[in-house]
A and B are shown apart, each in its own frame.
Chain A
């Protein structure tokens, strides 16, 4: 999984045009010449990006409509319970949103695309999954019989439909904004945010379903029970974790400009299969009691954490190397340059700068880190042989 090799397969950019080294000392000299980082171009890629954005928006609108159509009746009949459920889930959702953006090392992901990822999960993925799940579940019931379909339908339906529909949003974001999904780390975080969006709406839907399953007699109890089960007990290993793993697969392929070599393609396929597999395990009727649910949650969570730490380790190593190269080019002390790879390190370096100069120094830091992340995304990304770049 780790692709942070000691030497880049693609030529390093360290000999490119950079400001001449100047005197070192404060950890920021020379960086004032740094240009603004590349913010993406709309050249020949204009059309697919535009088409991606249109498809993204269209499917979000369609999904939202399908979701409202499925939920509005229950919301109107149980308004108080709906508001309570929405508030409880929203508080946890907001905290999770902050946390999942925070887990990206070096810098947080784009706010705009973080929100778009969340919105995709909340609208397009959920709405389209309602339709797809309904039909595929009916197919299992018909083909396998009602006992089989009722027992195994969820496990044979949701992992396929939901994971693929969530992944579709990550791919669309990666196409419309290539800088947002430059590699596995970005894929993990954007995937987690898509999954989080899906999860909060599914939890809300589930609370309304439980009200009906309990006969509509005490909706508040149903809402609280659902919150405890879906958020407190199993929230740690739910959609955000599954889609983070699937998003890592997208990041791997996107990092190779959608033309991965065989090894990378295999890793991506394996990660997608793992995401589908842990989702299947979560939905399977095996280990159907409460302790089973908690055990399944831990399996999903640990799987996501293993992927996260492997990807994080590789990404941080690349960024540190890129910063070291930049530091060499700009005449910075290597330790000062590499320290910029972490939020804590950047704060520490800033404290060395006189107070009046800190805003400008912080801006220089941001630009240097942005360029290091650009450079880091270039290391070891083999393109499938025989294909023109």
Chain B
């Protein structure tokens, strides 16, 4: 029986390629999936320009659309964005991250700001937000704004709850060329508005 067991398929010596072929396939698959997609992504354009004057709907929920109107020079980082939930925009040295959050129940602006204090630390443990100030966009959206501090940079942060409180638009912006460029973000956020849509509550 020992001799017999030695003849079992999984115990027999394989051919010269046995074992190496599946191993090679695995290695190739891992390389393709990890480095192949990375290379393909790298050769594709990272950004697409946002047309000046274009109004972009960044969130839509429960009867409201949140819209931003862009000036000349803004670009959308498509690879880092997901429609309706997360966007990365840039203009020169300025980078603005926009997130759409949906709290489990209606909460105050202050509670949203406290939540945002936590969220900025997820990506950068040194990041913190100052106490916020009330702001109102030119289009009438009310929210809070403050300053973002971290070891690397200083920037701005803002949040605007939808009128029915179902969702909120949160932004953080930084500039590699100094805070003066952040005025472009301020202008952009001044364009934020919440439009009623049909069928909303």
A: residues with CB less than 8 A from B are: 13, 16-19, 34-35, 37-38, 40-41, 43-45, 47-49, 51-52, 55, 59, 73-74, 76-78, 128, 131-132, 135-139, 141-143, 145-147, 149-151, 153, 160-161, 164-165, 168, 171-172, 174-175, 178-179, 182, 212-218, 221-222, 225, 253-255, 257-259, 371, 374-375, 377-378, 381, 387-389
Chain A proximity of B15: nearest CB distance (Å): 6
Give bound CA distance, A52 to B24, whole Å.
Answer: 10
Q: A135's contact among B19, B29, B38, B114, by CB below 8 Å, is which?
A: B38
Please report the C-alpha to C-alpha distance between residue A255 and residue B10 in the assembled complex, in whole angstroms: 8
Indicate if B51 sits at the interface (CB-CB under 8 A). Answer: no
B115 in contact with A216 (CB, 8 Å): yes
Interface residues of A, dominant DSSP: helix
Cα distance A336–B112 when bound, in Å? 69
Contacts of B105 in A (CB 8 A): 218, 221
Measured between beta carbons, the chain B residues less than 8 angstroms from A179 are 10-11
Interface stretch (choices B61-69, B78-86, B182-190): B78-86
Q: Judging by beta carbons under 8 Å apart, are A35 and B104 in contact?
A: no
Contact A381 B9 (CB under 8 A): yes
Considering only CB atoms, which chain B residue lies closest to A136 in the complex? B37
Say which residue of A18, A168, A175, A216 sits within 8 Å of B19 (CB atoms).
Answer: A175
- Residue-wise, chain B 68-112 has the 8 Å CB interface mask toward A (1 for contact) of 000000001011111111000000000000010111110100011
Contact pick for B37, options A35, A135, A182, CB 8 Å: A135
* A33 CB, nearest partner CB in chain B, Å: 8
Neighbouring A residues of B125 by C-beta, 8 Å: 73, 76-77
Q: When the two chains form their complex, are residues A48 and B23 in contact, meaning their CB atoms are under 8 A apart?
A: yes
Interface residues in B, total, Cβ within 8 A? 67
Q: How many pairs, one residue from A and one from B, have CB atoms within 8 Å of each other in the complex? A: 219
Task: Indicate if B40 sits at the interface (CB-CB under 8 A).
Answer: yes
**A138-B33 contact given A35-B2, A41-B11, CB 8 Å threshold:** no
Given contacts A139-B40, A145-B78, A217-B103, 9 further A-B contacts (CB under 8 A): A41-B13, A135-B40, A142-B44, A164-B29, A172-B23, A215-B107, A218-B103, A253-B22, A258-B14
Within residues 9 to 49 of chain B, which ones have a CB less than 8 A from any CB in chain A?
A: 9-15, 18-23, 25-27, 29-30, 33-34, 37-38, 40-41, 44-46, 48
Q: How far is the CB of A106 from chain B (nearest CB, A)?
A: 16
Assess whether A77 is in contact with B118, with CB atoms less than 8 Å apart: yes
| Chain B: minimal CB distance from A221 (Å) | 4
CB pair A215–B5 under 8 Å, yes or no, is no
Known: A13-B4, A48-B19, A139-B40. A161 touches B33 (CB 8 A): yes
Q: A132-B33, A216-B115 given as contacts; is B26 within 8 A of A172 (CB)?
A: yes
Asked whether, in the complex, the Cβ of A141 is within 8 Å of the Cβ of B78, the reply is: yes
A308 to B33, CA, bound (A): 29
Also in contact, A217 and B115, with CB within 8 A (given A45-B14, A55-B26, A142-B78): yes
Interface residues of B (CB under 8 A from A): 1-15, 18-23, 25-27, 29-30, 33-34, 37-38, 40-41, 44-46, 48, 76, 78-85, 99, 101-105, 107, 111-112, 114-119, 121-125, 168, 170
Task: Verify B114–A217 contact, CB threshold 8 A.
Answer: yes
CA distance A77 to B116 in the complex (A): 11
A153 to B78 Cα, complex, angstroms: 12
CA distance A255 to B18 in the complex (A): 12
In order of increasing CB-CB distance, the 5 nearest A-B pairs are A138-B79, A48-B19, A216-B115, A215-B101, A150-B83
A146 CB contacts on chain B under 8 angstroms = 76, 78, 81-83
CA distance in complex: A146, B76 (Å):
10
Which A residues are in CB contact (< 8 Å) with B84? 150
Given the interface pairs A38-B6, A55-B26, A172-B23, the reply to whether A128 lies near B33 with Cβ below 8 Å is yes
Q: Which residues of A contact B40 (CB under 8 A)?
A: 135, 139
Is the pair A213, B101 in contact by a Cβ cutoff of 8 Å? yes
* A137 surroundings in chain B (CB, below 8 A): 79
B81 touches which of A52, A141, A171 (Cβ 8 Å): A141
19 A-B pairs with CB atoms under 8 Å apart are A38-B11, A48-B18, A48-B19, A55-B27, A73-B122, A76-B121, A128-B33, A149-B82, A149-B83, A153-B82, A172-B26, A213-B85, A214-B103, A215-B116, A216-B117, A221-B104, A255-B9, A258-B14, A375-B8
How distant is the Cα of A377 from the Cα of B105 in the complex, in angstroms?
Answer: 57
Q: Are B122 and A378 in contact (CB under 8 A)?
A: no
Q: Are B103 and A138 in contact (CB under 8 A)?
A: no
Q: Determine which of B11, B22, B82 lies in contact with A175 in the assembled complex, contact meaning CB atoms within 8 Å.
A: B22
Contact B41 A139, beta carbon cutoff 8 Å = yes
In the complex, the chain A residue whose C-beta lies closest to that of B82 is A150
Q: Which residues of the other chain, B, contact A374 by a CB distance below 8 angstroms?
A: 5, 8, 10-11
**A142 to B45, Cβ gap below 8 A?**
yes
B1 touches A213 (CB 8 A): no
Contact A182 B5 (CB under 8 A): no
* Alpha-carbon distance A175/B27, docked complex (angstroms): 13
Taking CB atoms, residues of chain A closer than 8 Å to B33 are 128, 132, 160-161, 164-165
| Contact of B14 with A257 in the complex, beta carbons under 8 Å | yes
Q: Which B residues are CB-close (under 8 A) to A131?
A: 34, 38
A202 to B191, CA, bound (A): 38
Complex formed: what's the CA distance from A318 to B60 in Å? 58
A171 touches B30 (CB 8 A): no
